[in-house]
Amino acid sequence: MPALAHKTYFNYGGQGPLPSPSLAAINASWGTIQELGPFTADIWPWLEQEVGGLRGALAALCGVPPERLALTENVTSGCVLPLWGLPWQAGDELLISDCEHPGVVAACRELSRREGLTISTLAVKELRGDLTSTSTSVLEALEASLTPRTRLVVLSHLLWNTGQLMPITAVAQRLEQHPRRPWLLVDAAQSVGSLPLSSPEAEASGAGAAAVADIYAFTGHKWCCGPEGLGGVALSERLLAEAQPTMGGWRSLAQENDGGSAWHRDARRFEVATSCVPLLAGLRRSLELLEAVAPAAERLELIQKRSQQLWQSLGQLPGVHPLLEVPPPAGLVSVVVEGTSPGELVRQLGERAIWLRTLDDPHCLRACTHITTTEAELERLVEAVAELTRPA
């Protein structure tokens, strides 16, 4: 991974490094397109194989059939395209957690402005305890926030700011009992690639969540270590039956030449038009490499081992307070540091080629650990934070 050379990297939740074999696969794919095509009868079967292969791999990773998996460009388009295609009625209420990404929140605001919807907030930001108490509190908060008009709940699987894991399957079960069966939109930016979503024995670690959500949207460029510009979304059968394409294009059509009347019945109705096919080979290669190093359940254990070690070591430094009261459930470690602005600390760490990021709400620093994170890197970060925060 060239991106990991000459630096100490903790921004996996922002973007994962691309392994060299994945970059080589992208280049090879580009070569094949030029050799076979680019726009000849010879290339169509190859293209179908590329698209089908990645769709199958992402569907398997999510634990859904391929018919429920649409290829997208990023997390946000995976959230927004199906969301805007749902049958809204003026007065419907959107219940959005207070830990959602600004892009998704902005899209919900614009949707509500245009369709006359209202927005209310599901409070999860302060839930910093163990998974059992967090699950109980999320369900209590949900109970208190649902109204007869609630039509959509937006909740990330792994909160990008506190690093807490949300009980998506329990939330989905509760929503099924609501008379209006609100849609469940899950931002899976931080969970795909880090959580074992399709290992039935790992329900406590998030398995089953992609299959029960109506919209489970993710990207390949974070924890999957794929190229930027390629993601996916798992969609429920119910959504596929009721939602119309938002940006319908030739790839949304069941038959391109039938006058444009019939959309695909499956998730392809949310795919649009020409996109960058070589990226597919890169993401597929990255997924294979991750799997070869450690299958999903084992990968989470490796990620946790490092994040928990970091959480503990940082928490022992004077004036450094992890947001979570318990060891992190996955790879995100957020801390507040007394007496220093997070931005200034990130800048000073960057001068030492140690890369992490700030978050605005809660205002803190976030370091992510992946299976590539080494003990030496953890020590380097902890020593640097200790040195930079030591009273003069």
Distance (Å, whole) CA 116 – CA 151: 13
Instruction: Give the x/- contact pattern for ligand PLP in 96-135, rule: CB under 6 A.
Output: -----x-x--------------------------------
Residue 99 sits at φ, ψ, to 5 deg, of: -125, 25
Stretch that binds ligand PLP, among 17-25, 186-194, 367-375, 379-387 (CB under 6 A): 186-194
Instruction: Give the x/- contact pattern for ligand PLP in 14-43, rule: CB under 6 A.
Output: x-----------------------------
Query: What count of Cα atoms within 13 Å lies in the side-chain half-sphere of residue 68?
Result: 22
Give yes or no for residue 75 binding ligand PLP (CB under 6 A).
Answer: yes
Give yes or no for residue 208 binding ligand PLP (CB under 6 A).
Answer: no
| Closest distance to ligand PLP from the beta carbon of 63 (Å) | 20
**What length does the chain have?**
392
- Beta strands 183-187 and 215-219, pairing class: parallel
Distance (Å, whole) CA 152 – CA 83: 9
Give yes or no for residue 304 binding ligand PLP (CB under 6 A).
Answer: no
**DSSP 8-state secondary structure symbol assigned to residue 29:** H
Instruction: Give the x/- contact pattern for ligand PLP in 314-353, rule: CB under 6 A.
Output: ----------------------------------------
Concatenated DSSP letters of 206-269: TTTHHHHSSEEEEESSSTT---TT-EEEEE-HHHHHHPPPSS--GGGBSSTTS-S--B-SSGGG
First to last CA, the chain: 38
Q: Which lies closer to ligand PLP via its Cβ, residue 26 or residue 43?
A: 26
Give yes or no for residue 219 binding ligand PLP (CB under 6 A).
Answer: yes
Stretch that binds ligand PLP, among 57-65, 70-78, 167-175, 274-282 (CB under 6 A): 70-78
* Count, residues near ligand PLP per rule CB under 6 A: 13
Pick the binder of ligand PLP from 29, 76, 191, 309 (CB under 6 A): 76
Q: Please state, in angstroms and as integers, the Cα–Cα distance from residue 81 to each residue in 70, 219, 248, 263, following that order.
A: 11, 14, 10, 14
Pick the binder of ligand PLP from 8, 156, 309, 369 (CB under 6 A): 156
- Amino acid identity, position 109: R
Which residues make up the interface to ligand PLP (CB under 6 A)? 14, 74-76, 101, 103, 156, 160, 187, 189-190, 219, 231
